[in-house]
Amino acid sequence: MSRRKQHVPWTAAGTASEQQHSADDVVRETGWVFNNRTGRELDLAAFVETGDHETLAYLQAFGLDAGIEHQSLVEIGSGIGRMTASFSRMFARVTACDLDGAFLERCRETVAQFGRPERLQTCHVDDGRTLLIADASTDLAFSYITLQHCHPSDALALTREAVRITRPGGHVALNYRTWTASDAALWPAGKVVRGSFRVPGVGPMLARHRLTARVGWQANRLGPATVLPEVAEHLRDVRLVRSPQRSPFGVAGVEETTYVGVHPSHWWLIGTVR
């Protein structure tokens, strides 16, 4: 069993995804863990379309969309390939990384149907913090709504890993969640619920239930002041991208821009590897 209680809801959803016959059934049963949509009418095509709308929009917002047809991308936390299919159509090579091996199998299926499977590799992040990928081997390391689900030290380890695997001159685009007013209630509730995921009998049930999974699965709040010292010496042209609804982080010497597509509780670290 994995040592981290925050892995439980993901491995539970991964196991549930293995029990489904078709990829459309996987989306109906477990798709909500990725894009919070439910309903019997859902199918894989509609699920992938939600990713299609986000991939290019983010790359353009971050100024990372030029020349990507010749580039490689590593996606940290791919899930069942909601965005991976689109990335595989845009980039020459894509490596999808995830904590859950069953998600990666489904990701291959998603890319086979809606992307370019011959461009895809997968990487199982067995310990939740180490990427089995060579140093300086990718053009872009990208992660969306994943690092917020990791133990704080794992999120910081994956941040360092993202920089390690990116070639000099390549980029990182990494998404984090930080504090908002609603955390006064959400954060303590999340801690209690996460603790319950390990209780024999009831824990696995709570981890698979939509409401409790959602309350418990955000395992950290990380702001730029905590993340930047981990990697700043290896990056240049660092930029923080936040929601226009959020006040500036105000880190000395670090550029900040806003993008309407960023959730007010989220921020992105964009940087070029030295």
Ligand X SMILES: C[S@@+](CC[C@H](N)C(=O)[O-])C[C@H]1O[C@@H](n2cnc3c(N)ncnc32)[C@H](O)[C@@H]1O
DSSP symbols for the chain: --S-GGGHHHHHHHHHHHT-SSHHHHHHHHTHHHH----TT--HHHHHHHHHHHHHHHHHHTT--TTGGG-EEEEES-TTTTTHHHHHHHSSEEEEEES-HHHHHHHHHHHHHHS-GGGEEEEE-TTSS-----TT-EEEEEE-S-GGGS-HHHHHHHHHHHHHHEEEEEEEEEEEE---TTHHHHHHHHHHHHHHTTSTTHHHHHHHSHHHHHHH-------HHHHHHHHGGGEEEEEEEE-TTS-----TT-EEEE-TTS-TTEEEEEEEE-
The smaller minimum CB distance to ligand X, of residues 114 and 144, is found at 144
The least distance separating ligand X from the CB of residue 210, rounded to whole angstroms, comes to 13
The smaller minimum CB distance to ligand X, of residues 125 and 207, is found at 125
The least distance separating ligand X from the CB of residue 229, rounded to whole angstroms, comes to 21
The least distance separating ligand X from the CB of residue 245, rounded to whole angstroms, comes to 21
Interface residues with ligand X (CB under 6 A) are 10, 34, 77-79, 82-83, 98-100, 103, 125, 128, 144-146, 149-150, 154
The smaller minimum CB distance to ligand X, of residues 2 and 182, is found at 2
The least distance separating ligand X from the CB of residue 99, rounded to whole angstroms, comes to 4
The smaller minimum CB distance to ligand X, of residues 152 and 256, is found at 152
The smaller minimum CB distance to ligand X, of residues 64 and 125, is found at 125
The least distance separating ligand X from the CB of residue 265, rounded to whole angstroms, comes to 14
